[in-house]
Structure 1
Amino acid sequence: MKRSQLLLDNAVICSKLARRSNNKQTKALFKRMEDSWRALAREQDWLDGEIAPVDAFRFGRPVRARPSHAA
C-alpha cells in the first residue's frame, strides 16, 4: 500500500468523525485535521515522485506527473 493512501485513510476517518459530531467546534477541528491529512498525502505523493512539485498543491488536488522521455 502506498504511504499516501494511509494518510488519505486518516483523512476519511476525520471526515466521518466531523459528520457525526454535533458540536460546531469539534466538527471544525476534524475538518481541519482532514485537510491536513490530505495535504500530507499530496506531499507524500510528491516525495515519492508521483506528482510534480508545482502540481502538488494546485487547487488542492494532485495532478499526476507525466513520465519524462529522454531524447
Structure 2
Amino acid sequence: MKQSDIFRDNAENCLHLAERAEGQPAYKRYSRMAEAWMALAEEQDWLDGEVPPVVVRIPRKQDA
C-alpha cells in the first residue's frame, strides 16, 4: 500500500469521526484533520512522481 493511500484512509477515518462528533468544536477539529491528511496524501503523490508539478505561467509584459 502506498503512503498516500494510508494518508487517504486516515482522512476517511477523520471524516467518519466528524460525522459522529458531539458538538461543533469536535466536528471542526476532525474535519480539519481530514483536510490535513488529504493535503499530505496529495503532496506524497507529488513526491512519488505520480502527479506532475504545477506549471506556473507568468504573463509577459507586452511592448506598448
Name the % identity.
Answer: 47
Q: Give SS of 2:22's match.
A: coil
Q: Deviations over 1:26-60 (max 9, x none)?
A: 000000000000000000000000001218xxxxx
Q: CA deviation at 1:3?
A: 0.8
RMSD: 1.2
Matched residue pairs, number? 55
Query: Greater CA radius of gyration, 1 or 2?
Result: 2
Give the match for residue 15 of structure 1. Answer: 15
Name the residue aligned to 2:43: 43
Q: What is the CA–CA distance in structure 2 between the aligned matches of 1:13 and 1:53, rounded to whole Å?
A: 28
User: Structure 1 residue runs of 4+, over 2 Å off?
Assistant: none
Task: Give the unaligned 5+ runs of structure 1.
Answer: 56-71
In 2, Cα distance between equivalents of 1:15 and 1:53:
28
3-state secondary structure, aligned to 2:53: coil
